[in-house]
Amino acid sequence: MTDILEIKEVWKNYKMGAEEINALQGVNFKVEDGSFIAVMGPSGSGKSTLLHLAGILDLPTKGDVTLNGTNIKELSRKQQAQIRRTKIGFVFQRFNLLSQLTALENVMLPMRKPDREKAQKILDRVGLEGKYDRLPTQLSGGEEQRVAIARSLANDPILILADEPTGELDTANSRMIMELLTDLNKDGMSIIIVTHDPMAAEYAQKTVQMRDGIISHV
């Protein structure tokens, strides 16, 4: 299997006043095509920072992030944004749907060229057939997260990054969301989740533990 993501000897430092915080300290991390990885660790361990670097939402202080064979730091800001928009799908804990848009419109929003038929097929794929015109307020929490996952698939990404995807959900809906992500993975989608939830991590093929800005266990 080929590596679609490689994070090599990456450091990420932040300044808070006169203090420098080492959020990541020489981290090495690879994601093979078709893998499903859970990243766990206490608050402040660096797991969200790792996800942000994987998603090109931030850049390392030192080290290299290579996505699909391309070293991100060699690209312009515009090229980085283009890769982020077309190669990576994001799923967030609080769904981040636009409340005034329907489920279908939320899915079409990130598309380079809005395509209603494609958006409907994606919603069908996540189990929301017939609910295209529902507003977020007319959906359950589990259904909202399904719309968010559908939106992450809008541009046919090679990698889905999910930050606490079950954090706002009850146990039943959490399991439905993790089963959906598992089905997407079985279809060939590469997935990384950051989670505090041991139940959610059980669905992954591999769990990575982080502590104090390093990977402590794989």
Name the residue ranges covered by the structural domains of the chain.
3-217
Cα angle 71-35-171, degrees, rounded to a multiple of 5: 120
Average pLDDT, the chain: 93
Reference 14, options 48, 55, 40; nearest CA is: 48
Query: Computed from CA positions of residues 63, 25, 39, 17, in that sequence, does the dihedral angle turn out positive or negative?
Result: negative
Tokens of 167: 């954090």
**DSSP label at 72?**
G
- Helix H, strand E, coil C: the string for 130-185 is CCCCCCHHHCCHHHHHHHHHHHHCCCCCCEEEEECCCCCCCHHHHHHHHHHHHHHH
Under CATH, to which class is 3-217 assigned?
alpha beta
Q: Which tens digits make up the pLDDT trace of 63-88?
A: 999 999 999 999 999 999 999 999 99
pLDDT score of 218? 66
Report percent pLDDT > 70 for the chain. Answer: 99
